[in-house]
Amino acid sequence: MRKIQVGIAYEGSADIDALKILIQKILNSCDLDFNLDAVYPQTPGSGIIGYIPAYAKRFSDSGVDLPVYCTDQDKDKKSRRDIIISKLKESTPTMVDISVVGVSVPHFEAWLIADEDAVKHVLGLKGSEALPLPSLQAKDRLISLYQNYYEGAVSFADIRCQLAGRMNIGKVERSKGDFNLFVADIKRAANSIKASNNT
């Protein structure tokens, strides 16, 4: 079977490297041979919602087998996950079953810090103590933890990648419903691709 081409539409340039690591970890458990170097349209500005039909067409035209759409929920009262799925059904109904939608609540950093043991390990914090700054939103908390507690020389971007690499996927699935949906989408899409390749 040929390599499955994965395309990722994403919101912020700070997220893509850590996001690729998470996707790779999840796909590794799906028994698929895949290529994560396919197509990565980054959205100018702050959201991918208005670009979904264009990204779906680009993925289809580029031979992407597994399209992934990732954004933050932010403060939007409407479910961005539902909006993206609706737009996919309108623009590319034949690709809905193999599309993955990841919407982190409220931000991608919430996924990165959900495994507190991994955060403590990567930032060099004592494992027996509670993770500091629990009152901050995930994005601000991760930045503050890095700025105020980390004593190493690794860049913030690399810290984000290390957190993704060290994350216990199952633990975060159990604690974050939005991440659980993302993992389930990847596994569902992978199974759909495998089934279609076996027919």
The CATH number assigned to the domain holding 133 equals 3.40.50
DSSP element (H, E) containing 86: helix 80-91
Residue 39 pLDDT class (50, 70, 90 cuts): low
Q: What domain count does the chain have? A: 1
Residue 189 CA: distances (Å) to CA of 68, 97, 166:
10, 6, 24
Question: Residue 14: which domain range?
Answer: 4-197
Q: Is the pLDDT of residue 58 over 80?
A: yes
pTM for this entry: 0.93
List the structure tokens of 153: 């020389």
Q: Is the pLDDT of residue 37 over 80?
A: no
Q: Which of 27, 17, 22 is nearest to 164 (CA)?
A: 22
Residue 79 pLDDT class (50, 70, 90 cuts): very high
